[in-house]
A and B are shown apart, each in its own frame.
Chain A
């Protein structure tokens, strides 16, 4: 039977980047998932948690559990929101088996494709130099790829998926996985440093010849695309699910 997937679309994707939600949905359905989008979902509470306002997070965490607990899997096109649910909800649930189960079945989109559905190759053609931005939360909290600081066997299934697409050339960066400087409220509270970080990331990609900048997280891309558009750089920005969906 097809797995019943609860689609977790973070609030800012819902409101600002519907095409990312659509691409995620299409890809999952293409690979045979029975996808449902629970209408009453809003936000995982990450902005509040990152500001230290944990009182505001509790009700959202409990809502989240209620909304999503009945699915076989919860899939989300954003590593950082997944990390919020999996790593930062503990304090709102003590010995709650439903939450423990939810943790184990909540996945970032690419992780779900590779680890759960066992997909390691994508059909289609995308003849571009693609720059993969390694979003920090996916990288160092969810361990969706190896980070450059650790001395371990390198791995990165999302990158491998990208590379499996005909015509894709993933560009090589000087700093493979430095933070883009978004960091949620950091982007506003530390505007100067945040923008310099973003600018530096963009120019690393520019020098590497990136034509299409992609990531597993739309928030990093929102920040970098803001800089790219202000500086009118010739780089297209796409969430990784949009690339996948285009190749179906």
Chain B
């Protein structure tokens, strides 16, 4: 798979689109600023959320058992999946048991992580994403490019095109209201025809054995109440200890994600309705390994609000697909290499280390520090390209020898200004493609000091 710089370069080539993408997301970041500004205790909330999550991650086994016990008591079936394969098999097993062939799903990045859709489709099961954005990318046969706005990269003209082709809307239609209405009618049929509903989980509560799903379109409620079977798929880190903790996260989540005071629908599930069945699938898929790592444990605090993406200047200008990972952006650049360091070795470098993600994160994950730590890991595991390693080795070597360093500087200052432009600005000089090099001065600071200061 191509590395981030290559995919990002492709995205940036279309300047107009890259600007549009950047501005759409900056708009969301600004809304987040305004919404968080309404809460005087914002920083306190972040601190509290961070503490709760850190506690949870370090007590995961106990809390998960507590959750299972309490969920069972409410009549919920709890399943444990070690990896994506097991997860998909469990889900398929439940569906098969009920002879289900049509499923509606509300947005869940976890099922994206497991590639559940293609898996179920191969088993002859129709699975329809019911979140509007997710449905759009599903119709395109693509994964989401963002955690909470899966189709943020697609323009309304393109959606018009797509809907015309797939849903039979009028050609050339771009009116969002018209297109949304068409999608709603289409989805309504799917909701009615479905025999089971799959949802993600935003927060599962150990103390009660219940869980909460947040959506803006109410599709989780529709998808789970119109039929008798609900399967909820969650990563084991989605747990919180007590029902009381929920208020902290619900206040932070929507504000950080979209600048709304609260998500339109926060649906609480505490056991199946009479005559219905409820299942929770708990997925590990590498999470317990991260929980055991001192360096990266805190990345499990993530509540998937996507604020780090909206603020990330690189994500905004390179698009979600440039990360080539289910979760893109800063947090994705930590989780990606944790899953497969070789495959995702370019992600920790897709970052200018500006630190904005760290300051914006509602659960205070030190994202940019973890990215820097990942760079070291990449180097230690021998995954850093030879050219980078060599240049850094040479630089380190020169910097340990002041005389050599001074000599190299002197030579450069003597030679570079005399070089013809084509020798300086060519395809080997990435700096000079769109930027001028600095003018080389006649003397270095140290030379100036010797002449003008020290002998005074």
Contact = CB atoms under 8 A, between A and B. Distances in A.
A48 B391 CA distance: 9
A122 B109 CA distance: 54
B399 interface: yes
Interface in B423-456: 430-431, 433-438, 440-441, 443-449, 453-454
Interface string B388-406: 1100110111111010010
Given A136-B355, A196-B18, A47 B409 contact: no
Contact of B434 (A148, A178, A195): A195
A113 B5 CA distance: 40
Nearest to B450: A39
Contacts of B380: 52
Contacts of A9: 445-446
B441 A183 contact: no
A188 B379 CA distance: 18
A195 B351 contact: no
Nearest to B12: A192
A31 interface: no
Contacts of A137: 353, 355
Contact of A178 (B313, B360, B436, B443): B313
Given A149-B356, A186-B352, A188-B430, A230 B436 contact: yes
A235 interface: no
Interface in B8-27: 8-9, 12-13, 15, 18, 22, 26
Nearest to B449: A37
B350 interface: yes
A245 B282 CA distance: 63
Given A45-B396, A195-B434, A186 B351 contact: yes
A79 B400 CA distance: 22
Contacts of B431: 187-188, 191, 226
B356 A192 contact: no
| Interface SS, B side | helix
Contacts of A59: 396, 400
Interface string A23-59: 0010000000000010111110101111111111101
**Contact-size category for A:** 35 or more
A140 B369 CA distance: 11
**Contact-size category for B:** 35 or more
Contact of B435 (A39, A151, A183, A195): A195
A52 B314 contact: no
A189 interface: yes
Given A175-B26, A183-B353, A42 B36 contact: no
B359 A149 contact: yes
A199 B33 CA distance: 24
A25 B22 CA distance: 40
A18 B354 CA distance: 26
B384 interface: yes
A17 B409 CA distance: 12
Contact of A52 (B9, B33, B375): B375
Given A17-B441, A190-B314, A227-B435, A45 B399 contact: yes
Contact of B444 (A15, A49, A140, A178): A15
24 contacts: A9-B446, A14-B446, A18-B444, A18-B445, A18-B447, A21-B449, A52-B378, A52-B379, A52-B380, A53-B396, A140-B358, A147-B355, A149-B33, A149-B360, A150-B43, A151-B39, A178-B356, A189-B349, A191-B430, A193-B8, A193-B317, A193-B350, A196-B18, A197-B313
Given A137-B353, A191-B5, 11 more contacts: A14-B444, A20-B445, A42-B400, A45-B396, A60-B399, A140-B359, A184-B353, A194-B352, A197-B317, A226-B436, A230-B435
Interface of B: 4-5, 8-9, 12-13, 15, 18, 22, 26, 33, 36-37, 39-40, 42-43, 311, 313-314, 317-318, 348-356, 358-360, 372, 374-380, 384, 388-389, 392-393, 395-400, 402, 405, 409, 412-413, 430-431, 433-438, 440-441, 443-449, 453-454
Chain A to chain B: the 3 pairs with minimum beta-carbon distance, closest first = A56-B396, A183-B352, A226-B435
